[in-house]
Chain A
Amino acid sequence: GENVEQHPSTLSVQEGDSAVIKCTYSDSASNYFPWYKQELGKRPQLIIDIRSNVGEKKDQRIAVTLNKTAKHFSLHITETQPEDSAVYFCAASKGGNKLTFGTGTQLKVEL
């Protein structure tokens, strides 16, 4: 089955700096890669996703890049703000099949 690895497990940045979280996946047939933000005790919230026919996608301060050949994808957050502090999960799936999550990254944006 699919295996998704995520790094780093914790990330601390200064407000205004950029944050980058990286994931790799094992199943070359995976074609959907979402990123979720989860605040303590809350449900995961989709923040951005990318499909295998696209190499990069951007939404305001958030961007995701995908390298299908290397089987890795990354989340980029620019101009970080304190409210960006949360746990971020990457995930991968094949079409409408089950989603496999990465291990999570605790992002802390310090003032």
Chain B
Amino acid sequence: GAVVSQHPSWVICKSGTSVKIECRSLDFQATTMFWYRQFPKQSLMLMATSNEGSKATYEQGVEKDKFLINHASLTLSTLTVTSAHPEDSSFYICSARAHSNTGELFFGEGSRLTVL
């Protein structure tokens, strides 16, 4: 299957700082990537849809100014958590489709963010 790589796998930061998470499609081009957040023992909640060359589409309740998404190339999307707070601590996972019509999503390894 297609490979999606995410970096870093875990990060600890202080409150008020910003953290950037990268999501790369290694062996395919992804015009669309999806960013999910997962709190402990909960489901994956879609935060936003990242579109190459255009603005991301955010889900209701997700602050676009706090969670900055950039999709500058067909293989890279980044999520920046700005002015992080302890309540932003979570598991962030990106995903992408290798083929626009097949539906199957390939997930990155996930990034565990802990805000102190």
Question: Could you list which residues of chain A lie within 8 angstroms of chain B, going by C-beta atoms?
Answer: 32, 34, 41-46, 49, 51, 89, 93, 95-96, 98-104
Contact = CB atoms under 8 A, between A and B. Distances in A.
Interface residues of B, number: 24
B110 A42 contact: yes
A41 B109 CA distance: 9
Contacts of A96: 32, 97, 100-103
B49 A89 contact: no
Contacts of B67: none
Contacts, number: 51
Contacts of A102: 43
A99 B46 contact: yes
Given A43-B110, A98-B49, A99-B34, A89 B104 contact: no
Given A96-B101, A96-B103, A89 B44 contact: yes
B43 A103 contact: yes
Contacts of B42: 103-104
Contacts of B102: 96
B39 to A, nearest CB: 11
B34 A49 contact: no
A96 B32 CA distance: 10
- Which 3 pairs across A and B sit closest by C-beta, in order of nearness? A32-B103, A43-B107, A96-B100
Contact of A100 (B46, B49, B101): B46
Contact of A44 (B46, B103, B107): B107
Given A96-B100, A98-B34, A89 B107 contact: no
